[in-house]
Amino acid sequence: MRKIAVWVFVLVLATMAAGADQSGISREDLSMKAGASEPGEALSLVWVEAYVYPKEVKEDRVISLGVRVTTKLEAVEATFDFNEKKVALTSQDGLSWSGAYQIPDGVEPGLHVARYGIIGVKGRILRTVDFFVKQGSQLSAAGNNIAEGEIVKSRNWPLTVTATGAALVDGKVRILNRGHKVIGVSKVSGYQVILEDGSEAWLPMSMVNNPLDDYYKYGYQSYQAGDYLAAIDYYKNTIAMDSDFANGYFGLARSYYKDGDLEGAYRSLMQATRRDDHNMEYKLLANTLAGEYFTTARSKFNDNRFNEAVAAYQKVLQLKPSSTSSWINLGKCYVELGLALEADESWREAFKLSPEDTEIHALLRLDTDSVAIAGGEIKKQTVARVIASKAKAVAAVIAKKEMLSVKVSNLPPVISDDTVALVKGEKTKKGTSVKSAVQSVVALTKSLGTPVKEKGWQTSKSGKSYLVRFLCEQGTGVIEAFEWLVDVDTKHVSASNANARLLMDRW
């Protein structure tokens, strides 16, 4: 009987094409920049998404690259802060572009960026997406041999045509009879297939059997027998057949956990809970994984590996959002990384969970006596007023700690240089460059007899943008900062604090 190879009908961001595990992709594992193009950019796009998967790179050091748009493009290419050689992405329709890239072993652990050149008929725009290469990640001994831009093949399973029907081949209809064997790769509304003679065809899903139940049973039996690798393979197949099969994700999660793959267990369980957030078995496993990540996070923090500690605490909170201690410790990690606003937000989340906790009061600089307690209940209006009245003091205290710290986010030099250059070259309302305006302010202050020690320019990550600061110390330890938020792709610069806004308005 003729054998048909059934290939995936690409649904961008459903399978993410290159290198994506068919067990499903969690949004938490994606690093993405999305939105409409800005006025003044060379291309006018209603929507553009650029992503790197995974955002934390480990083990085989393979990343998936992708861009999705609503208007057809001419080409998409990617470069990296550690390698300016262009990687060409491929597309079947001009709208969904994808590829894969294997990061060389010589690339240092830490934060890196991919820069996409998005090219249309009328011009070119840039989108920058960051990702993190974990310590100790290296190419596997066997080697993946993934070429730049190559699409990584999906997994597959055997199917049988159960009802005679028509397949569309090169625009013509061909009849396939019951009993034909096919190899399934992805379950969507229809299959794109390649016949043995090389011709392409479309095959309705109703024409083939669905072995999902059998594969789930085989997975459970393998798990019970302690053969976790076999269980993982069976469960992956169930999810490839039905991407909304919650028990398939759960079976995969506990099999990964038993096999010692905590990351795989986390990703799979998050997919399961999205599809069924009331299942007690899922919640019990979530508590177990949260405990594992909490231990890891504390260890990373103690080793001064704050980026990795943040990633671990974030996973604890995805699994167990009610963990007050994780919110507190996450804030402390952010302070070490120079991210004051994120630290404050984390501590406020902790305060919502445990408003009577004195450690949180100290971190937020709250006056404990002002937090009224009546009958064991916090008066919400009083707490709200206290938080509001202390907001400026909180930001100032954390900002001062941040500014005086010698620890600055370890951004790739290309990002640090570009963002600082954009700010320095930005014009005030009177047409003066920011660089000249800052120098003038410092000179004027010194001329008035105030000692000023320039701390220089610093760049750190702030949400989807980059925060650029010029710091100086006046008198005896008084720190002043001028802050701007920068989008490196659109080159948009906006003043972010009172000092910078004053400078932009009046200088």
Provide the mean pLDDT of the chain: 75
pLDDT of residue 121: 92
Residue 63 backbone phi and psi in degrees, to 5: -120, 150
Burial 33-63 (b: 16+ CB within 10 A, else e): beeebeeebebebeebbbbbbbbbbeebbbb
Question: How distant, in Å, are the alpha carbons of 54, 107, 260 from that of 58?
Answer: 9, 12, 15
pLDDT of residue 118: 95
- Read off the pLDDT band of 63 (50, 70, 90): confident
pLDDT of residue 6: 36
Nearest to 412 by CA among 111, 104, 56: 111
Per-residue tokens: 244: 């909304």
Per-residue tokens: 385: 């007023």
| Amino acid, single-letter form, for residue 433 | S
Tens of pLDDT, residue by residue over 70-81, are 889 999 999 998
Least-confidence region, from 116-125, 228-237, 487-496: 487-496
Least-confidence region, from 217-226, 334-343, 377-386, 483-492: 377-386
- pLDDT for residue 25 is more than 70: no
pLDDT of residue 20: 37
If you average pLDDT over residues 168-181, what whole number do you get?
Answer: 63
If you average pLDDT over residues 201-229, what whole number do you get?
Answer: 80
- Read off the pLDDT band of 407 (50, 70, 90): very low
Nearest to 149 by CA among 81, 60, 57, 64: 64
Which of residues 79 and 394 earns the better pLDDT score?
79
pLDDT of residue 30: 81
DSSP annotation of 463 reads T
- Read off the pLDDT band of 385 (50, 70, 90): very low
- pLDDT for residue 188 is more than 60: no
Tens of pLDDT, residue by residue over 432-453, are 899 988 888 888 777 766 778 8
If you average pLDDT over residues 407-411, what whole number do you get?
Answer: 52
Task: Say how far apart CA 336 and CA 343 lie, in whole Å.
Answer: 9
Burial 119-148 (b: 16+ CB within 10 A, else e): bbeeeebbbbbbbbbbeebebeeeeeebeb
Task: Say how far apart CA 368 and CA 355 lie, in whole Å.
Answer: 10
Task: Say how far apart CA 170 and CA 137 lie, in whole Å.
Answer: 45
pLDDT of residue 398: 46
DSSP annotation of 337 reads T
> Are the CB atoms for 31 and 52 separated by under 8 Å?
yes
pLDDT of residue 446: 75
Domains, the chain, in order of start with CATH, read: 3-8+154-207 (2.30.30), 27-133 (2.60.40.10), 212-277 (1.25.40.10), 291-404 (1.25.40.10), 413-506 (no CATH)
Tens of pLDDT, residue by residue over 238-263, are 887 778 889 999 999 999 999 999 99
The helix or strand, by DSSP H or E, that contains position 127, with its residue range, turns out to be: strand 123-133
Identify the residue whose tokens are 């957030």: 277
Burial of 431 (0-12, 13-18, 19+ CB in 10 A): exposed
